[in-house]
Amino acid sequence: MTETDGAPAAPRSEVEPAGPDTGPGAPANADAEFAAARQEAAELKDRLLRTLAEMENLRRRTEREVADARTYGISSFARDLLDVADNIGRALEAIGEDVRTGADAGIKALIEGVELTERDLLNTLAKNGIHRFEPTGEKFDPNFHQAMYEVPDEKVPAGHVAQVVQAGYRIGERVLRPALVGISRGAPKTAPQPDAAAAGRQDASGQS
């Protein structure tokens, strides 16, 4: 039988379907979830920034290590070459001026060849960042100089290099071999001169 005008309507269920949570606790739950999401986002951002910073530090450290390897990687080989340079220098120093003057053409050519070899060796070392230094007159620096003895020298201030026993070498900003040096003590100390007035008084007292 169909409904007709005036006929009683069919009874409806008094239980409404469940909808979104609109009770008194809903805003509090939403705020808590939002705060938790913000906290998580902040933590993720912090972790990301830390990771990026670590990667940048690693990149810079790697670049420095590569640069150091290029500059200082030949240090051991260079130290061996220093012995060759020292021996050539000693050989030239052993040739006295009288020998150079009285030498025939063949000996002079030999000496010039040794000198040329020394210059080429030093130039080759310099091209690879290895430089010789002789710190005569410089203030003593334990980072670059090794003191062997002290000498009285009125021409050189105390604490400065008066003599160089062996030249030093550096590679880049590092010392490859310190220079062996003698340190000045300054002018030699003299005995104090007696005061003339005091000496006169002493003589007068002795005669009385």
CA-CA-CA-CA torsion for 60, 65, 67, 72, nearest 10 degrees? 160
- Contact between 182 and 165 under an 8 Å Cβ cutoff? The reply is yes
Q: Taking every pair of C-alpha atoms in the chain, what is the biggest distance, in angstroms?
A: 168
pLDDT tens across the length of the chain (208 residues): 444 455 555 555 454 555 555 555 556 788 888 888 888 899 999 999 999 999 999 898 888 888 878 778 888 889 999 999 999 999 998 888 888 888 888 888 999 999 999 999 999 999 999 999 999 999 999 999 999 999 998 899 999 999 999 999 999 889 999 999 999 997 666 655 655 555 555 555 555 4
Using CA of residue 152, residue 156, residue 159, residue 161, what is the dihedral sign?
A: negative
Phi, psi of 44, deg, nearest 5: -65, -40
What pLDDT shows up at residue 21?
A: 54
d(CA 133, CA 170): 8
d(CA 165, CA 162): 10
Q: Which two tokens stand for residue 77?
A: 């080989």
d(CA 203, CA 198): 9
What is the number of alpha carbons within 13 Å of residue 46 lying toward its C-beta?
6
Helix (H) or strand (E) holding 22: none
Q: What is the identity of the amino acid at 97? A: E
Question: Which positions ≥6 away from 176 have C-beta within 8 Å?
Answer: 75, 78, 79, 82, 130, 168, 169, 170
| Strand partners of residue 13 | none
- Contact between 130 and 176 under an 8 Å Cβ cutoff? The reply is yes
CATH 2.30.22.10, domain 130-190, yes or no: yes
The pTM for the full model equals: 0.60
Helix (H) or strand (E) holding 120: helix 105-127
| Strand partners of residue 163 | 182
Sequence ranges of the domains in the chain: 130-190
Sheet holding 174-177, edge to edge: 130-133, 168-171, 174-177
